[in-house]
Amino acid sequence: MFMEIKGIKNSDKIKLILSFTEYSKLMPGSKKEIKKVTTHILQEMKNKGEKISMLTAYDYSMARIIDNAGIDVILVGDSASNVMAGHETTLPITLDQMIYHASSVVRAVNRALIVVDLPFGSYQGNSKEALQSSVRIMKESGAHAVKLEGGKEVKESIERILSAGIPVMGHLGLTPQSIYKFGTYSVRAKEKVEAKALLEDAELLEKSGCFGLVLEKIPANLATSVSSRVKIPVIGIGAGGGVDGQVLVLHDMLGITNEFSPRFLRRYANVYESMTKGVKKYISDVKARDFPNANEQY
């Protein structure tokens, strides 16, 4: 709707309309045209040889920062069980808790594809439950896809979830939900038999319709062969540089956690240190009656 503004030249009217368009882009609530990342775009990235960036997030504020920074995929990982809730393993986190984390992330994100982990006990051994859990995640959080761990043993669950139109991402190699079966968090598939089984599982996941695959903590040359053997994007964590993209746990790569230092982890910041410094300064300012000062009160 345009108002007739009397006494203004046509060229100035055009300038006014253009500047209103620019202004409206900046108004709260107005959204810039953003090309959202989809599973199809990830496939195109692999086809073009463009690497995919993926990080975890579990809450609104962190998700907002990494989405605005341009991350391609956000994983609402069940590692929330470790880094958010302080559990030793990923096993205790519940479907309700995953949905809570996922919906906080969804509210923050404009561009990234949001993938949510199906938690332990919500899909294994029962494909109907796998579908119900996935439907709850999609309906109640607004996320775009689910991820689950395992190969042939979860094939039926994957197919049933896909039959409802829900994109599924696989996860092979070190699968933390099976930690009590493995006994350790050490590198997987170093031996020929396990490496062959992993390759077969990767092909099966592709054939079942997974749009992508995470490979965790396996030898780099094996991960490179998987990535060239399957057409779908392969994202690695501790799986070397020969895959189609990388994922890290946000709290580890930012140095929020400081007690976990596997070889594959590169720290891009030391947030633990800078937060400690900030909090210590705040405490001493309060104790010294320096905060708040005259300008920081009403």
| Near ligand KIV by CB under 6 A: residue from 57, 73, 77, 109 | 77
| Contact range with ligand KIV by CB under 6 A, out of 39-47, 71-79, 127-135, 138-146 | 71-79
| Near ligand KIV by CB under 6 A: residue from 46, 71, 79, 160 | 79
- Residue 246 is a binding residue for ligand KIV (CB under 6 A): no
Query: Smallest distance from the beta carbon of 81 to ligand KIV, in angstroms?
Result: 8
Query: Smallest distance from the beta carbon of 22 to ligand KIV, in angstroms?
Result: 40
Residues whose CB is less than 8 angstroms from the CB of residue 265 and which lie 6 or more positions away in sequence, other chains included: 248, 252, 253
Query: Smallest distance from the beta carbon of 2 to ligand KIV, in angstroms?
Result: 51
| Near ligand KIV by CB under 6 A: residue from 204, 247, 253, 254 | 247
| Contact range with ligand KIV by CB under 6 A, out of 58-66, 70-78, 154-162, 258-266 | 70-78
- Residue 234 is a binding residue for ligand KIV (CB under 6 A): no
Site for ligand KIV in 197-216 (CB under 6 A): 214, 216
Is residue 216 among the annotated active site residues? Answer: yes
Q: Which residue is nearest to ligand KIV (CB)?
A: 77
Which is the catalytic residue, given 129, 153, 191, 216? 216
Query: Smallest distance from the beta carbon of 164 to ligand KIV, in angstroms?
Result: 22
Nearer to ligand KIV, 268 or 281 (CB): 268
- Residue 117 is a binding residue for ligand KIV (CB under 6 A): yes
- Residue 249 is a binding residue for ligand KIV (CB under 6 A): yes
SS (H, E, C) the chain: CCCCCCCCCHHHHHHHHHHHHHHHHHCCCCCCCCCCCCHHHHHHHHHHCCCEEEEECCCHHHHHHHHHHCCCEEEECCCHHHHCCCCCCCCCCCHHHHHHHHHHHHHHCCCCEEEEECCCCCCCCCHHHHHHHHHHHHHHHCCCEEECCCCHHHHHHHHHHHHCCCCEEEEEECCHHHHHHHCCCCCCCCCHHHHHHHHHHHHHHHHHCCCEEEEECCCHHHHHHHHHHCCCCEEEECCCCCCCEEEECHHHHCCCCCCCCCCCCCCCCCHHHHHHHHHHHHHHHHHCCCCCCHHHCC
| Contacts with ligand KIV, residue ranges (CB under 6 A) | 56, 75, 77-79, 117, 214, 216, 237, 247, 249
Annotated active-site positions, please?
216
